[in-house]
Structure 1
Amino acid sequence: MNTKEELPLSKIELINTYKNELQNYSLEQLRYKSEEEVWSIGQMYDHLIICAHEYLDSMETCATLNDEQPLGKTEFGEKLYKNGGFPPIKIRLPEELNDPPNNSDSKDELISRIKQVILRLSQWESKVEHINPKYKVQHGGFGWLNAKEWYDLVYMHFRHHLRQKSDLEQRLGK
């Protein structure tokens, strides 16, 4: 898979590619940690899946709101969306948000969980454009995001982790 940040894949195609590539790993490879501070491939998948559901929960909350939010994004949030993705750097969360992801899921469990993300994205793909863009939920780092921005954040986050995925695969000798 091409790991450039400028992938021509749709949101769902990109996440389907992640799902399909799970077949390429043994259970040992999924759980392999080259260093204590470095995530395994399975942990990276767990992180992506958990964040995707959190973002989609916020998107769904936007769909239920009735009050418009006049506030907007933070400076970093504005840059993120203007550029269409995260900068090509490693981002470390604050310690209180940096619990290591789960490293015990099987390949089948990860596939099932990522299928749920794909299903939710598919269910909202045609609806998200019709949600009032002034109905927003606050993100801790990016400011006030509307439903479409939360939906797009799933894709941007998966795309951002392609570099990490490539690095972890190199550590496996793939």
Structure 2
Amino acid sequence: MSIQHALLVSLLERPSTGYELANRFDRSIGYFWQATHQQIYRELARMAKKGWLRAEDAPEGGKRRRKIYHVLPAGRSALIEWVKTPELSLESTRGLLIKLRAEATLGPLGVEDELRELIEQHEARLHVYRNIERRDFSGRPLTRAQRLQYAVLRSGIVREESWLHWAREVLPLLATD
């Protein structure tokens, strides 16, 4: 996933100046996708060159000339195409979160199928972790080294259980009527 998709979602939610967008990004998407203000401005310029954005002068409100960015049809299409392309990697959580924001803004885009597939993958990983736990860490006293190894495994188990709990809460929200 690129930062461009995250920025497109943010601008579809509300056209903004680069400064406003960077501040909003810090307070929302920025909690799971970090980008400096410089990166955001650089990407806005690239997206405008691609024809994904239009920048118009903001009403005068200060000494600096500011531009408000709006998503053009080509940018909207690029975002929809990206959302509809499944990222079925267990590490694709950031992209999934952006896709959910896009789904909220643009309407049903098919993220439900991707989430179902990811749930299956995370369930399979949790099953592997649970088998390792039973095989290697149950029914006997553990050495210090084994307790530390088990702590690492428990981290993975807790992470998978938490992700699955969250995903199962989200899934009904994606169902279309």
TM-score, normalised to structure 1's length? 0.29
- Structure holding more helix per residue: 2
Q: Radius of gyration: which is bigger?
A: 2
TM-score, normalised to structure 2's length? 0.29
